[in-house]
Amino acid sequence: MSEIAVNKIQVHPSNGLKETIAQMNFLEQKAINTPAFVTWVHKNLNSNCAPCIPGKVWKFMRNYFRFKKDDPFDEIVIAPYLMPDLRRGDCDDFSLFAKTCMDILGGWFTSYMVLGVERDVFTHVVLYANRGGSGNNVIDPVIIDGANSVFNVMPEKYNWFKIL
């Protein structure tokens, strides 16, 4: 069987968050193994100022991407290498793009952070990144939320979060 380019993956709603995160991880690996995308990331988002990289990734998404919510009960996850051309997506697409770019550039530990208005009901995903440490001694912790107009701020409506 020849390899087929994977551009988008549809996740059935009954499979929920676990399946969505698994598909996001799969698409991240596909993007990291796409030389043209890796080159694009280094050319457009790299910086000699390591603490500046998360803000640069967030600013790029805010300037070039438009938030477009998936249709109800139709979760589509878009491959990161498509985002610079599509220029649209929802929170999972933005978070996947940010995580992939940060992982390509290196020097940051990245995780998805899911947010919810109610306990254990998560409806939004952002990227949580830091440069090391543990507990209260984490270095440069940031939240990258391409759907938020403010950098490194968790939207007020969310009372609950979980780092995956």
Q: What domains are there in the chain, each with its CATH number?
A: 8-163 (3.10.620)
Q: Which of 125-140 are b and which e, b meaning 16 or more Cβ less than 10 Å from the residue's Cβ?
A: bbbbbbbeeeeeeeee
> Per residue in 58-76, pLDDT tens?
999 999 999 987 666 567 8
Report the number of secondary-structure helices (H) and strands (E) in the chain.
5, 8
The tens digit of pLDDT for each residue in 80-129 reads 999 999 999 999 999 999 999 999 999 999 999 999 998 888 889 999 99
**Angle at CA 9, nearest 5°, toward 7 and 10?**
145
| SS3 of residue 100 by DSSP | helix
